[in-house]
Amino acid sequence: MSNRRTFAIISHPDAGKTTLTEKLLLQGGAIHLAGEVKARGQARRARSDWMKIEQQRGISVTSSVMTFERDGITFNLLDTPGHEDFSEDTYRTLTAVDSAIMVIDAAKGIEPQTRKLFEVCRLRSVPIITFVNKVDREGKSGFELLDEVADTLALDVSPQGWPVGMGGTFQGVLDFASGEVSRPEGPSKEFRGKREADAALPDEVAEEAELARIGYPEFDLEAYRNGDLTPVYFGSALKNFGVTELIEAIATHAPPPRPQPAGEEQVSPERDEVTGFIFKVQANMDPNHRDRIAFMRQVSGTFKRGMKLTPSGLGKPIAIHSPILFFAQDRELADTAEAGDIIGIPNHGTLRVGDTLSEKNQIRFTGLPNFAPEILRRVVLKDPTKTKQLRKALDDLSEEGVIQVFYPEIGAQWIVGVVGQLQLDVLVSRLEAEYKVEANLEPAPFATARWLKGDAKTLGEFEGFNRANLARDRDGDLVFMAKSPWDVGYQQEKNPDLTFSATKER
Ligand code: G4P
């Protein structure tokens, strides 16, 4: 069986994802960090700092790949930006993982962003391990948290341990499987490896733990892998409690690389051909070069450096001479990758989010969505002679997935669409820094966009009547620009033979 575990951490900002990531990497002895774990402290969420990092490094602070090894298992942790403005990127990253850890703040329970991300995982039946973080502080009771997960997410919960006190009374974490209690040590009250078997527990804790153990379903591998049940671990990322248990849970329970959908077909990791799909494109480190790194999730086969793969968007093979293999600790290994691994492929814009790469060019992976933008803006040039540069920039940035671009059928006012405000800030700043184009973003007369599908005749008729509300996206596909969500409903009703789709799969 494959020794790869490719996963992501989902959480609401501040729940402790960064801290947990660091602890996982520390325990695993990270081999390579593509992009650092984001800067600590308040600064990390200040918009200006995000932008500065984007500019200085020329890469977005968004999903990077971190790989570590432990007991013969290779863990690929794909980072997802916690900032909700980057949710589109996060969603796409979640299409490239086989499982996820959901981090919950013990004092706050399920928060909106956790819930949203969870729903994306559920769409794809991504199995979830839950980590209730910060039990070293005062929080909700364990039962309250378990019931909250079960009720709000409609999931079976299976507690795997129990906090021995919380906040001021915190004395460690009991592990149900081993019966041992991990104990805090030293003035910082961290876990440093002290585990007590047959530890005496306060009566109340012993009672609660017993209730938790018998009152909730036992762990069931199949139910977990189907996304119907989540094992719940209590811990503290900051104080190192529960981190080892979490790594072990991923190693033993989390699924190895799963088959990926390609239309009607499921492509198995055992298929003896290298296949993969691009889930992310980043501008390269050096802002003076327009190089990009496309991140490919390998689905099958054994990749070797120099191999020729055909991108679906291009139709002819390209040789992958200088792949970035994130797990490559020593140079010897840097030449191959397996199903489940992520390969960074430098390119000049040939590879786009959603592209399939394969040796035989016979399959197309499906299920990588573009999301209907929630914010639309008109791009107004300060210097109207720069139209060409602007078009190039908008095309590039939409290929990278930073924005979506819509070229209206009538008029020359190009429109950009994003899911979150921060994407707009990044757009303006990158237009200036990389393309020397100064532009203003002004309100657009539209509220949302829908991709249109239908037979050529129906589409043609609709086009004839609605040209003022139609645009083409980067691929030339027809998009209905709606003045309001009501407008979408109205048009859908009037045109039952057309679909107005809020997502587009490439
Ligand atoms: P995020 O990536 O999910 O946004 O969260 P992050 O890890 O940055 O953690 C958010 C805050 O919660 C940080 O404090 C962090 O130190 C704290 N934290 C994380 N895990 C634990 C835990 O297990 N117990 C306790 N008590 N606190 C935890 P901060 O003050 O916002 O940042 P910093 O200045 O301390 O870095």
Pocket of ligand 1 (CB under 6 A): 11, 13-19, 40-41, 82, 133-134, 136-137, 236-239
Tell me whether strands 4-11 and 73-78 are parallel, antiparallel or unpaired: parallel
- Sorted by where each starts, the structural domains of the chain and their CATH numbers stand as 4-256 (3.40.50.300), 261-358 (3.40.50.300), 369-505 (3.30.70.3280)
The b-or-e profile of 237-250 (16+ CB within 10 A means b, else e) is bbbbbbbbbbbebb
pLDDT in tens, 43-88: 333 333 334 434 443 333 333 788 888 888 989 999 776 555 555 6
pLDDT at 293 over 90: no
State how far the Cα of 318 lies from the Cα of 310, in Å rounded to an integer: 6
Half-sphere exposure of residue 337: CA atoms within 13 angstroms, side-chain side:
31
List, for residues 461-487, the tens digit of each pLDDT value.
Answer: 999 999 999 999 988 999 999 998 899
CA of 13 to the centre of ligand 1 (A): 10
How far is Cα 270 from Cα 257, in angstroms, rounded to an integer?
A: 10
What residue has token string 């059928």? Answer: 409
Residue minimizing CA distance to atom 25 of ligand 1: 134
The predicted pLDDT at position 266 comes to: 94
- Res 287 pLDDT > 80: no
Q: Which atom of ligand 1 is nearest to the CA of 103?
A: 3
| pLDDT (0 to 100) of residue 282 | 78
pLDDT (tens digit per residue) in 175-231: 999 999 999 999 999 999 999 998 999 999 999 999 999 999 999 999 999 999 999
Write down the pLDDT at residue 83.
Answer: 58
Q: What is the best residue among 37, 238, 246 to mutate for testing ligand 1's pocket, by most ligand atoms within 8 Å of CB?
A: 238
Question: Is pTM beyond 0.90 here?
Answer: no
24: pLDDT confidence band, cut at 50, 70 and 90? confident
Q: How does pLDDT run across 142-165, given as a tens digit for each residue?
A: 999 999 999 999 999 999 999 999
The pLDDT assigned to 369 comes to: 67
Mean of per-residue pLDDT scores for the chain: 86
Residues near 135 by beta carbon (within 8 Å), at least 6 away in sequence? 106, 163, 166, 170, 173, 234, 235, 236, 241
pLDDT tens-digit profile of 162-175? 999 999 999 999 99
Query: Which of 64, 92, 47 has the alpha carbon at shortest distance from 426?
Result: 47
| Residues contacting 370, CB < 8 A, separation 6+ | 88, 354, 404, 503, 504, 505, 506
Q: What is the pLDDT of residues 314-343, one digit of tens each?
A: 889 999 988 877 654 443 445 789 999 998
Report CA(22)–ligand 1 centroid distance (Å): 11
pLDDT per position as a tens digit, 393-446: 998 888 877 789 999 999 878 999 987 777 788 888 889 988 999 999 999 989
Burial 317-331 (b: 16+ CB within 10 A, else e): ebebeebbbbbbeee
Q: Give me the pLDDT at residue 424, please.
A: 84
* pLDDT score, position 289: 62
- pLDDT tens digits along 92-124: 888 899 999 999 999 999 998 888 888 888 878
3-state secondary structure of 123: helix
Binding residues for GTP: 11-18, 79-83, 133-136
- The single residue listed with the structure tokens 């480190």 is 285
Instruction: Please state, as a whole number, how many other Cβ atoms lie within 10 Å of the Cβ of residue 36.
Output: 12
- Encoded tokens for 179: 């019966």
| d(CA 393, ligand 1 centre) in Å | 37
pLDDT at site 68: 80
Four-residue CA torsion sign, 174, 15, 92, 24? negative
Number of CB atoms found within 10 A of residue 150's CB:
17
Q: Ligand 1 mean position to 40 CA, how many Å?
A: 9
Mutate to test the pocket of ligand 1, among 10, 11, 12, 14 (most ligand atoms within 8 A of CB): 14
Would you place residue 129 in the very low, low, confident or very high pLDDT band (cuts 50, 70, 90)? very high
In sequence order, the 6+-apart residues with CB closer than 8 A to the CB of 142 are 132, 159, 162, 163, 208, 212, 234
Higher pLDDT, residue 371 or 397:
397
Percent of the chain's residues with pLDDT above 90: 59
Q: Could you tell me which of 372, 457, 460, 359 has the C-alpha nearest to residue 419?
A: 372
Find the mean pLDDT for residues 259-281. 93
Quote the Cα angle for 472-473-478, to 5°: 45
pLDDT score of 225: 97
The confidence score (pLDDT) of residue 460 equals 93
